[in-house]
Chains A and B, each alone.
Chain A
Amino acid sequence: MIPALRYEWRRLFSIRSTWIISVLYLALVGVVGLLPIFVASPAAQSWEGLFSTPGNVLNAMILSVIAAQTFGHEYRYGVIRLTLSEFPAREKILIAKTLILSTYVVAMTLLAWAVLGAGGLIAGSEKVNSEASGFTISESQNSTQMWQVLAFGIGYCIFAMSITMLSRNLALGVTLPLLLATILEPLVGALLGIISDWFEPATKYMPLSSAQAWIVNAPDWPQAGLVFAAWVVGIYFLASFFFIKRDA
């Protein structure tokens, strides 16, 4: 397993786009999280609110580019055939890619928190403090927890990676989750709601609507979390099955 991890690590960090996207992600998280504090300053921000910034879909989308590249680059440029020549037992490279991607997402989220924390400290306790009600991605009473931000990032990226694995299309792996979250699922939910009240809770069973309901701690957040997890696990295993069975 170690050789496969070494191979995937080298693959990930030997292209410049990984570094560019990583810097872009940290910059975007910093801007989204800190700009309101320094510029708009509507109210004092809470630390929980500040640290929930990486749970924003836009930020997750940036990380999903790396997730899509995990398989997308390899299929696009034929490198997958070299990779699988070295790892005929495809499960090994699949697990290695999943572990390295998850580690990367965790590392980037930790770095994002470091950026936000540093920004919060610079802003001072008047603008960021534990007593502030703050403004967060969570619209409910309960603040988004840090573990939820971390789990959302990993889940979203594995979802994007799985779509790329299935479609062998890098662009689809990046755009489809974003479109689902921002346009398709709300639109389908709305249309179904118009057709019949019976369909109204349909969005509860859609992958990214449920993910967002979970991360903002909506009233039925535990169920939403389970639905999101089921989608991620389901599409991951489906994509893995085809990755192992299909011609390279």
Chain B
Amino acid sequence: MRVEVNNVDKHFRKLHAVNDLSFTVEPGRVTGFLGPNGSGKSTTMRLMLGLDNGTGETLFDGLPLAKYKSVTGVVGAHLDAKFFHPKRSALGHLKMLGAEANISKARIDEVIQLVGLSDVARKRPGGFSLGMGQRLGLAGAILAQPKVLMLDEPANGLDPQSIHWLRDFLKHYASLGNTVLVSSHLLGEMQLLADDVVVIARGTLVAAESVQAFLSRANSKSVLVRSNDVVRLASILSMNGFRVEIEGENAIKVIDATSEKVGEIAFQSGVQLSELFTEAANLETVFMELTASGMDYEIGAPVTGHDSAVIRSGESL
């Protein structure tokens, strides 16, 4: 089921939370929904589900949600790990959510087992950890096996094994032809999980494309070099017009360079290298480049005891 978000827009008084956003989420793929804190991801998801009032429309296979007779088979949403009554048992919570579509007890048990909550199914979730809350939220979302799954930060609070399980589960769910939209701040995780990304900043669309296309936007590619004579190599490289950053005692990073070129210069200069490695662009790098100006809550530079030295082109040590 294709999800089309068309010109969705939302104001909170003076704040323009979501600005004329349009994108498509394709079936059979996992789409990562990325953006800095306060960029409007959760608001967009709420608008898509009709929970918030705004302008624009979201169509699920060409129809707004309200036009479907039963919605539970169309979209399952997990928006927060704490959206449950703390004194209604996990089982009771899922029975309530499944009541609309008359979900069988067997299916509820199956889902509870799938998310690993069998031991606590009859317990009150008020005492659940964040990770357990995430599992319960996910269980509620997949209960009716919806064609579209929308998850807001589902990996928060999960341990590494659970994150691995979640990744495999969502990939499998999408491989069945379902549509999966996942928002997350865990960019490394998203790079492993997502086929496509939708990136927003300050409520405005930055990118909506495949992960590969997104990564190809990286402005700078760098080469990591290790050598016992790194100081001399750094000077020679900077003389050759490269920007060099010191990465440690015996390592430098050469910005906007290729390993072939750096190797050639080192060979010509008689510098012996112990490592030469091209750093591939990752989701985090591109994300930071593209959303740098869209941070609503900018953070200061990390305070460390030793600032990393930067040798600009033409400078020598």
A4-B97 Cα distance, complex, nearest whole Å:
11
Q: Tell me the smallest distance from the CB of A74 to a CB of chain B, in Å.
A: 8
User: Hey, what's the 0/1 contact readout for B70-84 against A, CB within 8 Å counting as 1?
Assistant: 111001010110111
Q: Report if B99 contacts A (CB, 8 A).
A: yes
Assess the A88–B46 pair: CB atoms within 8 A: no
- Given A17-B87, A86-B72, are A81 and B82 neighbors across the interface (CB < 8 Å)? no
User: Hey, what's the 0/1 contact readout for A53-87 against B, CB within 8 Å counting as 1?
Assistant: 00000000000000000000100011101101111
Assess the B53–A6 pair: CB atoms within 8 A: no
Q: Report if B85 contacts A (CB, 8 A).
A: yes
State which residues 241-300 of B face A: CB under 8 Å.
none
A85-B151 Cα distance, complex, nearest whole Å:
13
Q: Report if A197 contacts B (CB, 8 A).
A: no
A89-B51 Cα distance, complex, nearest whole Å:
10
Most buried by B among A9, A79, A85, A87: A85
Assess the B92–A84 pair: CB atoms within 8 A: no
CB-CB nearest in chain B for A14: B92
Looking at chain B, what size class is its interface with the partner chain? Answer: 35 or more
Q: Report if B49 contacts A (CB, 8 A).
A: yes
Q: Tell me the smallest distance from the CB of A21 to a CB of chain B, in Å.
A: 13
Q: Which of B53, B66, B75, B102 contacts A89 (CB 8 A)?
A: B66
Q: Report if A126 contacts B (CB, 8 A).
A: no
Assess the B102–A6 pair: CB atoms within 8 A: yes
User: Hey, what's the 0/1 contact readout for A3-27 against B, CB within 8 Å counting as 1?
Assistant: 1101101110011110000000000
Assess the A7–B82 pair: CB atoms within 8 A: no
Q: Which of A3, A7, A9, A84 contacts B51 (CB 8 A)?
A: A84
Q: Report if B86 contacts A (CB, 8 A).
A: yes
B88: chain A residues at CB < 8 Å are 14-15
A248: chain B residues at CB < 8 Å are 46, 51-52
Q: Tell me the smallest distance from the CB of A238 to a CB of chain B, in Å.
A: 17
Assess the B53–A82 pair: CB atoms within 8 A: no
Q: Which of A6, A15, A77 contacts B100 (CB 8 A)?
A: A6
Assess the B82–A78 pair: CB atoms within 8 A: yes
State which residues 37-67 of B face A: CB under 8 Å.
46, 49-53, 64-66
Assess the B84–A84 pair: CB atoms within 8 A: no
Assess the A6–B84 pair: CB atoms within 8 A: no
Q: Tell me the smallest distance from the CB of A28 to a CB of chain B, in Å.
A: 22
Q: Report if B310 contacts A (CB, 8 A).
A: no
Assess the B52–A247 pair: CB atoms within 8 A: yes
Assess the B97–A82 pair: CB atoms within 8 A: yes
Q: Report if B36 contacts A (CB, 8 A).
A: no
B53: chain A residues at CB < 8 Å are 245-247
Assess the A81–B85 pair: CB atoms within 8 A: no
A4: chain B residues at CB < 8 Å are 100
A78: chain B residues at CB < 8 Å are 79-80, 82-83
A77-B80 Cα distance, complex, nearest whole Å:
10
- Given A246-B53, A248-B46, A248-B51, are A3 and B96 neighbors across the interface (CB < 8 Å)? no
Q: Which of B52, B79, B85 contacts A77 (CB 8 A)?
A: B85
- Given A6-B102, A78-B80, are A73 and B85 neighbors across the interface (CB < 8 Å)? yes
Assess the A81–B100 pair: CB atoms within 8 A: no
A246: chain B residues at CB < 8 Å are 53
Q: Report if B101 contacts A (CB, 8 A).
A: yes
Assess the A77–B99 pair: CB atoms within 8 A: no
A84-B52 Cα distance, complex, nearest whole Å:
10
Assess the B96–A7 pair: CB atoms within 8 A: yes
- Interface CB pairs A-B, < 8 A, 5: A6-B99, A6-B102, A77-B82, A88-B65, A248-B46
In the A-B complex, the 5 residue pairs with the closest CB atoms = A14-B92, A78-B83, A248-B51, A10-B99, A247-B52
